[in-house]
Structure 1
Amino acid sequence: MKTNILKFLFLIFSTSVFAQAGHIMQGVGAVNMSMGGASTAQPLDISGALQWNPAALSTFDDKIIKLDVGLFFSSPELYSTVPTPGGPFSGNTEDDRGISPMPAVAMVWGKEDSKHTFGVSAFGISGFGVTFPESMTNPINMPQSMGGFGHIESDYLLMQVGLSWAYELTDKISIGVQPNIDYSALELAPNPTANPSAAGYPSTDKASAIGFGAQVGVFYDSGAGLKLGASYKTAQKFSEFEFNNTYLDNSTSKNKFQMDYPAILSLGVGYSTNAIDFALDFRRVDYENTDGFSTTGWTQTASVAGFGWKNISILSAGLQYKGINKLPLRIGYTYSSNPIDESVTFFNIPATAIIQDAYQFGLSYVVNDTWKVDAVYHYGASNGATEGQLLSPMMISQSNPLGAIPGSSISYDMKTSMIQFGLSYTFNSASK
């Protein structure tokens, strides 16, 4: 029953999610996205607070519900080169996935004369996906019978349901805790985590896994404009994906793959005046101790052991201008380092959604004390291709442990764009 409920929520609230920083969404909802994802010490809306610092919920003294829906478009492109007797053979393939929806929902129960604030959320917090069609002009997308991988497709989604509680220790300091239950799904074609056969690597059905974790935070509001915040999200530990594989010759097999969600440390500073709200967040993402990302390379049976990602740093900054009555304007920027180095570029073709620089512009319209409408436009770019060499288990040697093919290359880059709208409803507006 629990799994069926999670699947239902997953289908409604996380139809498709594509990450910006590693495989992590840089923000949740139109307001938080428009601030570059910065919210650890500047909770402008309930979605941003629930995502990045549960202690910051203490700033909300009302019962509020918020729904956001976005349309996301990405355009990854895959390039490869192989040596041939007649010279290098090169080509590129463009992704044809199209537009994907991005919903999120949150609710907070606050009361002005209470030290307790409660919240619940259902967010798509992670994902990646590509669709590179089979091609006779790009070596990597040539049919498996001709040495390529053929049609390459991936679809990974992670929904997190959080139950949050914030408590005011004093009128300036709050703490918060949020236990999480997670649902993820992964589909790969071909599936490099499975053992290849004479027919090549198989394709999979969509496998799912359940995970658990938590987040804790602290929030300080000086009352004079300055705000500070810190939070720690533990690694979200998942059950194994259990894949049912089908090879090109219609033979079948099963395999398992462990893929957790990394621990994230967030530090934030905010500053507010009558005219502006400024937010700056720094995050450190621990991929190097996360199952599915910490290991890499070929197994003894020529399957792929994992993605092999490095830890990354994320910097998020946002500015809100409140000088126009009922129409706050926001700009945001997000920088993320790249977790994929050149030695493991080949293993990460299904997960090319790496954006270094993201820019956002957003606004809200305050209809009245009850209703508010939000909107944001996002543009992101990888700012250069992730590059490496093609790898083959047949080329492994003591001096070439990953089997790099001399004279070959593989690279990918991408751009993203999104428009998102939010609607919030305050049941009992209270004076602050």
Structure 2
Amino acid sequence: MKAYFLKLCFLLFATAAFSQAGHIMQGVGAVNMSMGGAATGQPLDISGAIQWNPASLSTFDEKTIKFDLGLFFSSPELSSTVPEFDSTGAPTGNFFSGTTEDDRGVSPLPALAMVWGKEGSRHTFGASAFGISGFGVTFPESTTNPINMPQNMGGFGRVESDYSLLQLGFTYAYELSDKFSVGIQPTFNYASLKLIPNPTANPSPTAGYPSADKSTAFGFGAQFGLFYDSGNGFSAGASYKTKQSFGDFTLENVYLDSSTGENKFKIDYPAMWSLGLGYSVGQFDIAADYRYVQYDKASGFSAVGWTPTFSVAGFGWKNISIVSAGIQFKGIDRLPLRLGYTYSGNPIESDVAFFSVPATAVIKNAFQLGLSYEISDRWAIDGVYHMGFSGEATSGPLLNPQFISNFPPYGAIPGSEVSYDMTTSMIMVGASYKFLN
């Protein structure tokens, strides 16, 4: 029974995260999400503090437990265009275009955190289980969209991906003085990956790319933080989350002709710097964060292009900046209201957009509206509504490794295009309980 319960917990948390800033969740829990994810210098709840700055956990003096659960909806669209050729191989001047809509449906998004603090103590401890990263699409096979044509007709057929990352964190914060705190958080990670078709495997000359069932990998890393509280409303924080280094996914492949094979692929979670400012005055709390995400040093994202055997080497994502901001109004008794905004750069450059078809969850602008209701000194419930927009479609040429000699470096097909964009929405609710003395 115990083993079954642990497996169930892994399944719940590790199949839940579908991200918006590349493959990084913009926030954790209803309170932090409603502030646009800003918490590095303004910790309003324990989940946001643990996720973005372990040192800020020192601001919590009670033993508190918090659980959040969201329902996440996304609506990606995948479009492609290819030139048509006559029987001699000459272009006709006509083009074949189509669009496929994702039919994935709703995904759960949970977060669990607990903090042990005590008034007058310089030590604060925390533990958490967060779904912090993921991507996933389900584009059905189609005869009206070139990229989703059956593989025996030159397309990829059904495109399905499912990547998720569960992170367990154990946090320690220490108050150096009444104003300064430091924090450290070792992190342990569990990730799963499913790819249909699997472009990281070698294609068969007769059966194309195989399908790979779900595989898992474990990783580890850490986060370090500094926090300053002036005592007169101004606060600031900084943190560094190291690259979360993973072992290889071992992907078991099945080709269209029922032959089988195996390949390995590695995806790390990128290192990230966060800087945050906070200001509290009267009935208002204001927060702003800046993050810098280093995809160029993360396996699976730093490499780009084709291998000599025509498998895909990696996504080829560039480093990005993320800006989060939020404001909380506390003028209504026991009912704080919050507005949040998140801006994210796009890590996908147009010349390699083709490689990221399985990972289209890039949201440029996200808006959040949230509130809490303080039932008593012990209990509070939280809620948030999120809407996200990609801004404009990410697009680039279709690529074919057989065209590299004529169209280096990736073999862009002349006159072709692949593009994808999406919107996201989410409703999340949470509850927290303080163990008062």
TM-score band by shorter chain is over 0.9
Counterpart contact for 1:13–1:105, Cα < 8 Å = no
Residue 252 of structure 1 corresponds to 260
CA-based RMSD of the aligned residues comes to 1.3
Residue 122 of structure 2 corresponds to 115
Structure 1 segment 300-319 matched on structure 2, within 5 A: 300-319=308-327
The sequence identity of aligned pairs, in percent, is 67
SS in 2 for 1:111: coil
Write out the 4+ residue segments of structure 1 that deviate beyond 6 Å after TM superposition: 2-6
Does residue 23 of structure 1 match 2:23?
Answer: yes
In 1, the alpha carbon distance for the partners of 2:80 and 2:395 equals 10
Residue 175 of structure 1 corresponds to 182
Does residue 196 of structure 1 match 2:203?
Answer: yes
Structure 1 segment 42-53 matched on structure 2, within 5 A: 42-53=42-53
Does residue 269 of structure 1 match 2:277?
Answer: yes
Structure 1 segment 371-410 matched on structure 2, within 5 A: 371-397=379-405, 399-410=407-418
Counterpart contact for 1:293–1:308, Cα < 8 Å = yes
Residue 135 of structure 1 corresponds to 142
Q: Could you tell me which of 136, 152, 155 is aligned with 1:148?
A: 155
Counterpart contact for 1:226–1:272, Cα < 8 Å = yes
**How big is each residue's C-alpha offset from its partner over 1:197-240, in whole Å with a ceiling of 9 and x where there is no partner?**
02000000101000000000000000000000000000000000
What is the CA distance between 1:15 and its match in structure 2? 3.1
Q: Which amino acid aligns with 1:269?
A: L
**How big is each residue's C-alpha offset from its partner over 1:379-416, in whole Å with a ceiling of 9 and x where there is no partner?**
00000000100000110126521000001000000000
Structure 1 segment 271-286 matched on structure 2, within 5 A: 271-286=279-294
SS in 1 for 2:313: coil
Closer, same or farther in 2 for the Cα pair 1:3/1:55, shift >3 Å?
Answer: farther
**How big is each residue's C-alpha offset from its partner over 1:254-299, in whole Å with a ceiling of 9 and x where there is no partner?**
0000110000000000001230000000000000111110011000
In 1, the alpha carbon distance for the partners of 2:109 and 2:350 equals 31
SS in 1 for 2:32: helix
SS in 2 for 1:121: strand
Closer, same or farther in 2 for the Cα pair 1:128/1:3, shift >3 Å?
Answer: farther
**How big is each residue's C-alpha offset from its partner over 1:402-431, in whole Å with a ceiling of 9 and x where there is no partner?**
0000010000000000000000000116xx
Structure 1 segment 340-355 matched on structure 2, within 5 A: 340-355=348-363
Does residue 241 of structure 1 match 2:252?
Answer: no
Closer, same or farther in 2 for the Cα pair 1:355/1:95, shift >3 Å?
Answer: same
What is the CA distance between 1:7 and its match in structure 2? 4.7
TM-score, normalised to structure 2's length?
A: 0.96
SS in 2 for 1:56: helix
What is the CA distance between 1:11 and its match in structure 2? 1.4
Counterpart contact for 1:15–1:103, Cα < 8 Å = no
In 1, the alpha carbon distance for the partners of 2:31 and 2:256 equals 46
In 1, the alpha carbon distance for the partners of 2:248 and 2:15 equals 21
Q: Could you tell me which of 333, 337, 341 is aligned with 1:329?
A: 337
**How big is each residue's C-alpha offset from its partner over 1:15-48, in whole Å with a ceiling of 9 and x where there is no partner?**
3211011100000000000000000011000000
In 1, the alpha carbon distance for the partners of 2:194 and 2:52 equals 28
Q: Could you tell me which of 416, 431, 437 is aligned with 1:423?
A: 431
Residue 125 of structure 1 corresponds to 132
In 2, the alpha carbon distance for the partners of 1:160 and 1:9 equals 12
Counterpart contact for 2:65–2:113, Cα < 8 Å = yes
Consecutive unaligned residues of structure 2, counting only runs of 5 or more, are 86-91
Counterpart contact for 2:168–2:187, Cα < 8 Å = yes
Residue 70 of structure 1 corresponds to 70
In 2, the alpha carbon distance for the partners of 1:105 and 1:227 equals 26
Counterpart contact for 1:263–1:285, Cα < 8 Å = yes
In 1, the alpha carbon distance for the partners of 2:6 and 2:287 equals 33
**How big is each residue's C-alpha offset from its partner over 1:63-103, in whole Å with a ceiling of 9 and x where there is no partner?**
00000000000000000000003510000000000111111
SS in 2 for 1:135: coil
Counterpart contact for 1:343–1:389, Cα < 8 Å = yes
TM-score, normalised to structure 1's length?
A: 0.97
Aligned positions, number: 428
In 1, the alpha carbon distance for the partners of 2:26 and 2:224 equals 19
**How big is each residue's C-alpha offset from its partner over 1:124-146, in whole Å with a ceiling of 9 and x where there is no partner?**
00000000000000000000000
Residue 33 of structure 2 corresponds to 33
Residue 56 of structure 2 corresponds to 56
